A and B are shown apart, each in its own frame.
Chain A
Amino acid sequence: MRLLGSIDRLASELARKEYSAVELVEEALDRVERLDGTLRAFITVLPETALAQAAAVDRARSRGDRLSPLAGIPMALKDNLCTRGIPTTCGSRMLDGYRPPYSATVWRRLEAAGAVLVGKTNLDEFAMGSSTENSAFFPTRNPWDPKRVPGGSSGGSAAAVAAGEVVYALGSDTGGSIRQPASFTGVVGLKPTYGRVSRYGLIAFASSLDQVGPLARTVRDSATVLHAISGHDPLDSTSAAVPVPDWAARLDGEVRGIKIGVPLEYFGTGVDPEVARLVRQAVDLLVGMGAEAAECSLPHTEYAVATYYVLAPAEASSNLARYDGVRYGWRAPGAKSLTELYTLSRQQGFGREVKRRIMLGTYALSAGYYEAYYLKSQKVRSLIRQDFDRAFERFDVLAMPTSPEVAFRHGERASDPLRMYMADALTIPVNLAGLPGISLPCGFSRGLPVGLQLVGRPFEEETLLRVAHAYEVATPEWRQAVPPGIAAGRGDDA
């Protein structure tokens, strides 16, 4: 089972020509064929383009070209990342059939590195959700238990990686949409610092919070992918002109002297005691390896969810105004006036959760409410950021659970949006502060994966990855566990 291996291992096997990129992608397509009828991780599978890309890599290799470690590795993209000429739905009826005339910068970079795109993965509509149940097409299942959700909104990408349909995938994280599904499916999910990765071609949900990042099998793989997609992009003014280190090359398993903060607010009410115990156990392990840990406080944590659900919908209400039935996307037939064209197209094109957030956001920006909601939330956002600033005066990284609980059952929270929103309570503050965060497996509760979340200083992904990697190497048992029904046999190659 090659596809349960890491990028590192597959890249060296491809380099030694133990098999070809075409053979590898054939295996991926075969697994999608066998597994995805149940999992439903993919909205679009691209056998022809994937085989063509793999063949091109094989030709380049036989020419003796210098290849990226990502060349020939089968991967997937969340379906809110634009791919030129390839359907990009955003999980919405509104964009069903939309073929973007341009590619997202992240995909252009990966394509240039020889990535092989197996398909576009399912998501909550416009990335709004925590379970991938809000997809307009179908829900995705968790490979560890098909009755449970894979988390969201990057649930398709997480499930595809966890099930070995692909080796890695890109997701987007606005309030936890990479880290939470990574935690629910037992993979590594990395949300980079806001501005580290270009958002150009990422269909916007909340522009001040959105960030693209990898879901992968190992920390080292995450570092490799992050390196490939990072860097300033003249097409995105919020992308930062900062150096892009070769993170993977600097992972040495060393954590001596690293100061880990453990924020108490992230272990309180609503957090499953077993989840809390496993996370604390992970911190203890790191201390055993030479790190130092101490408890700390991020006092404004409790306001994060409320703040987020003003700011993210406010931005979304504006970002989604373009779907009006005029230029592209779903246009309602039979409208008799302009107003009717707008209302019918949006009524038919958007799902319930998207409409709910557009209404919330429109309200928060309206005359008479702007100061009380939007401006007030911006102020709280500053306070939340300051909490982290203060903590990082004492600590190099913070450690906490990614999600308060393990994966929940399908339908369990669909009718209770507030409870659904709480699933992101521990990831949202990190987006509000614009910080890098990573989720990696740290054990199992009742047979379901639990995620350890580490948060770092802005643009200090290096420290974050170093600590995560050290923990990962020290706990091979979490990576060797494979979802039931998914063929075992991946080796240890972190």
Chain B
Amino acid sequence: MLNRHAVELGILAALALECRVAPESVFARKNYFYPDLPKGYQISQYEQPLATDGRLTFAVAGEPRTVRIRRVHLEEDAGKSLHGDDAVRAAGHAEGYSLLDFNRCGVPLIEIVTEPDLRAPEEARSFLETLKLVLEYTGVSDVKLEEGSLRCDANISLRPKGSGESGVAVEIKNLNSFRFVQRALAHEIERQAALLDAGRPVVRETRQYLEATGTTAPLRGKEEAQDYRYFPDPDLVRLVVDAAWQERLQARLPEMPAAKHARYLDELGLPEHEARVLTSSLPLSSFFEQAIAQGGEPRAVANWTVGELCRLMNAHAVSPCELKLTPAHLVELLQLLDAGTLSRPLAREVLEASLLTGNSPRAVAQARGMTQISNEAELTLLVDRVLSAHPGPVADYLGGKERALGFLVGQVMRASGGRANPQTVGRLLKEKLGREG
């Protein structure tokens, strides 16, 4: 029985990649024997996939590039085989044992196949990063390479410059990070080029990437070439996706990263850097959007989110999902800053405390007595004390050295424990020195 939710996620991914969703698609059986495939066949799609003819635009060195998507299809996962490696020993078995993990067996997955439009290893990597982001936005998968919820096989072939015909393609598996994809492709280009330069043919095969050496090695030989005997699965009826269903899903599709990025620039007036950082992480951009929805001024929220908040999350190794600080907290912090209740340095301190404790900025500031001093009488006392303690800089300022004023402001700030309102202090200092001079 087909899992409706899986179909909907597949359609969402297809729509996000601007594919044409087939009004009818067919599930096929891919027949082969392997111990981690308990039915002896994998349910997949072959001749009539869920969706075709899509595209994804991404940037390489700031330049937009578009890759055509050949197809998006649904299939089931097989189990996992563990052979004589650390995992087998860890499970308390001797070498020579193989273990089978059926936990992911039958779990639905989608396969996305591109046209051969990528030209360089770094393009492949940028494409994958953008694809990952798009999939994360759709909510189709949590796209974790390390957990296998996103996997990648890369095909590569070389051809003479100017030739329209592709060379023999080699498939590379065991690519556990985008960095490895880039490295494996680079290595494969070198290897294939060396073969071709020497007048030797490239063999059509599946190779695996070896992390230790950064090279590739054959995975299975040609003699084991399989005939999968694909045929329509008679247990599953044709999948019919009518226009109404597709429209409902289209409406559910969230704003995609590229559109969001453009909106941040054009409508919210964010600088490029901040727009890019925010849209490259779904949790970060949704934090940002919640904050502005609660009245935060977009540029200030973006500035603080991308700057101070990201710095603190890095420093404390807190991921956006684990963040105790709420968007409302950030808005509150910016209000305290605006009102002059907190100085920038104090605001940073409060942000860090809120991030670590989850307490609201107002509560943190109050608990620590950290409200800014704007009271002029109070500040005048401090200003007078600093002026009498530093006659040298005073003389310098009066002699025309404007920079000495900064030093004096700093001293007042220090004397106030950082709580003095620097604008007020500056004004008071000028007034005093002007009068006295």
Q: Is the CB of A236 within 8 A of B1?
A: yes
Q: How many Å from the CB of A431 to the closest CB on chain B?
A: 12
Which residues of A are found within 8 Å of B38, using beta-carbon distances?
Answer: 322, 326-327
Cβ-defined partner of A321 (8 Å) among B39, B100, B231, B235: B39
Q: How far is the CA of A234 from the CA of B4 in the complex (A)?
A: 12
Which residues of B are found within 8 Å of A322, using beta-carbon distances?
Answer: 38-40
Report if B35 contacts A (CB, 8 A).
Answer: yes
Q: How far is the CA of A208 from the CA of B29 in the complex (A)?
A: 14
Interface residues of A in 405-429 (CB under 8 A from B): none
Q: How far is the CA of A237 from the CA of B229 in the complex (A)?
A: 23
Report if A207 contacts B (CB, 8 A).
Answer: yes
Q: Is the CB of B229 within 8 A of A207?
A: no
**B36, closest chain A residue (CB):** A326
Cβ-defined partner of A314 (8 Å) among B39, B40, B231: B231
Report if B245 contacts A (CB, 8 A).
Answer: no
Q: How many Å from the CB of B261 to the closest CB on chain A?
A: 41
Which residues of B are found within 8 Å of A362, using beta-carbon distances?
Answer: 229
Report if B234 contacts A (CB, 8 A).
Answer: yes
Q: Is the CB of A342 within 8 A of B33?
A: yes
Q: How far is the CA of A234 from the CA of B2 in the complex (A)?
A: 10
Q: How far is the CA of A342 from the CA of B34 in the complex (A)?
A: 10
**A363, closest chain B residue (CB):** B229
Q: Is the CB of A235 within 8 A of B1?
A: yes
Q: How far is the CA of A237 from the CA of B240 in the complex (A)?
A: 13
Q: Is the CB of A321 within 8 A of B227?
A: no
Q: Is the CB of B33 within 8 A of A238?
A: no
Q: Is the CB of B31 within 8 A of A321?
A: yes
Cβ-defined partner of A206 (8 Å) among B35, B100, B234, B237: B234
Q: How many Å from the CB of B381 to the closest CB on chain A?
A: 80
Known: A237-B1, A318-B29, A321-B40. A326 touches B231 (CB 8 A): no
Q: How far is the CA of A203 from the CA of B231 in the complex (A)?
A: 20
Q: How many Å from the CB of B209 to the closest CB on chain A?
A: 25
Which residues of A are found within 8 Å of B2, using beta-carbon distances?
Answer: 237
Interface residues of B in 265-305 (CB under 8 A from A): none
Known: A204-B235, A207-B235, A237-B235. A318 touches B35 (CB 8 A): no
Report if B395 contacts A (CB, 8 A).
Answer: no
Report if A374 contacts B (CB, 8 A).
Answer: yes
Per-position contact with A for B203-241: 1 when CB-CB < 8 Å, else 0? Answer: 000000000000000000000000101110011110000
Q: How many Å from the CB of B229 to the closest CB on chain A?
A: 4
Q: Is the CB of A366 within 8 A of B229?
A: yes
Which residues of A are found within 8 Å of B100, using beta-carbon distances?
Answer: 326
Q: How many Å from the CB of B81 to the closest CB on chain A?
A: 10
Q: How far is the CA of A356 from the CA of B35 in the complex (A)?
A: 24
**Main SS of chain B's interface residues?**
loop
Q: How far is the CA of A342 from the CA of B37 in the complex (A)?
A: 13
Q: How many Å from the CB of A449 to the closest CB on chain B?
A: 33
How many A residues have CB within 8 A of the partner chain?
A: 27
Report if B180 contacts A (CB, 8 A).
Answer: no
Per-position contact with A for B1-25: 1 when CB-CB < 8 Å, else 0? Answer: 1100000000000000000000000
Report if A324 contacts B (CB, 8 A).
Answer: yes
**A237, closest chain B residue (CB):** B1
Q: Is the CB of B235 within 8 A of A238?
A: yes
Q: Is the CB of B40 within 8 A of A324?
A: yes
Which of A208, A315, A318, A320 has most B Cβ within 10 Å?
Answer: A318
Q: Is the CB of A318 within 8 A of B41?
A: yes
Report if A247 contacts B (CB, 8 A).
Answer: no
Q: How many Å from the CB of B182 to the closest CB on chain A?
A: 35
**B27, closest chain A residue (CB):** A237
Q: How far is the CA of A397 from the CA of B33 in the complex (A)?
A: 45
Q: Is the CB of A324 within 8 A of B33?
A: yes
Which residues of B are found within 8 Å of A317, using beta-carbon distances?
Answer: 31, 229
**A367, closest chain B residue (CB):** B227
Which residues of A are found within 8 Å of B29, using beta-carbon distances?
Answer: 318
Q: How far is the CA of A324 from the CA of B237 in the complex (A)?
A: 27
**A233, closest chain B residue (CB):** B1
Which residues of A are found within 8 Å of B1, using beta-carbon distances?
Answer: 234-237
Report if A338 contacts B (CB, 8 A).
Answer: yes
Which residues of B are found within 8 Å of A237, using beta-carbon distances?
Answer: 1-2, 235-237
**A209, closest chain B residue (CB):** B234
Which residues of B are found within 8 Å of A314, using beta-carbon distances?
Answer: 231
**B237, closest chain A residue (CB):** A237
Q: Is the CB of B229 within 8 A of A315?
A: no
Report if A365 contacts B (CB, 8 A).
Answer: yes
Q: How far is the CA of A89 from the CA of B38 in the complex (A)?
A: 19
Known: A236-B1, A326-B38, A365-B231. A321 touches B237 (CB 8 A): no
Which residues of B are found within 8 Å of A204, using beta-carbon distances?
Answer: 235
Q: How far is the CA of A236 from the CA of B2 in the complex (A)?
A: 9
**A235, closest chain B residue (CB):** B1
Interface residues of A in 9-42 (CB under 8 A from B): none
Q: Is the CB of A318 within 8 A of B237?
A: no
Q: Is the CB of B31 within 8 A of A365?
A: yes
Q: How far is the CA of A366 from the CA of B230 in the complex (A)?
A: 9
Report if A478 contacts B (CB, 8 A).
Answer: no
Q: How far is the CA of A461 from the CA of B361 in the complex (A)?
A: 74
Which residues of B are found within 8 Å of A238, using beta-carbon distances?
Answer: 234-237
Report if A98 contacts B (CB, 8 A).
Answer: no
Interface residues of A in 293-320 (CB under 8 A from B): 314-315, 317-318, 320
Q: Is the CB of B237 within 8 A of A370?
A: no
Which residues of B are found within 8 Å of A318, using beta-carbon distances?
Answer: 29, 31, 40-41, 229, 231
Q: How far is the CA of A139 from the CA of B394 in the complex (A)?
A: 116
Q: How many Å from the CB of B199 to the closest CB on chain A?
A: 32
Q: Is the CB of B33 within 8 A of A321?
A: yes
Interface residues of A in 322-379 (CB under 8 A from B): 322, 324, 326-327, 338, 342, 362, 365-367, 370, 374
Q: How far is the CA of A237 from the CA of B43 in the complex (A)?
A: 14
Cβ-defined partner of A326 (8 Å) among B35, B227, B229, B237: B35
Which residues of A are found within 8 Å of B237, using beta-carbon distances?
Answer: 237-238
Which residues of A are found within 8 Å of B33, using beta-carbon distances?
Answer: 321, 324, 342
Q: How many Å from the CB of B218 to the closest CB on chain A?
A: 20
Known: A237-B1, A327-B38, A367-B227. A208 touches B234 (CB 8 A): yes
Which residues of B are found within 8 Å of A315, using beta-carbon distances?
Answer: 234
Q: How far is the CA of A206 from the CA of B29 in the complex (A)?
A: 14
Q: How many Å from the CB of A155 to the closest CB on chain B?
A: 25
**B235, closest chain A residue (CB):** A207
**A378, closest chain B residue (CB):** B232
Interface residues of A in 187-242 (CB under 8 A from B): 204, 206-208, 234-238
A-B pairs, 8 with minimum CB distance: A321-B40, A208-B234, A207-B234, A365-B229, A327-B38, A367-B227, A326-B35, A207-B235
Some 23 contacts from A to B, beta carbons below 8 A apart, are A207-B234, A236-B235, A237-B235, A238-B234, A238-B236, A238-B237, A314-B231, A317-B229, A318-B29, A318-B40, A318-B231, A320-B40, A321-B31, A321-B33, A321-B40, A326-B35, A326-B38, A327-B38, A362-B229, A366-B227, A366-B229, A367-B227, A367-B229
Given A207-B234, A236-B1, 9 other A-B residues pairs in contact with their CB atoms under 8 A: A208-B234, A235-B1, A238-B237, A317-B31, A318-B40, A318-B229, A326-B35, A365-B31, A366-B227
Identify the A interface with B (CB < 8 A). Answer: 204, 206-208, 234-238, 314-315, 317-318, 320-322, 324, 326-327, 338, 342, 362, 365-367, 370, 374
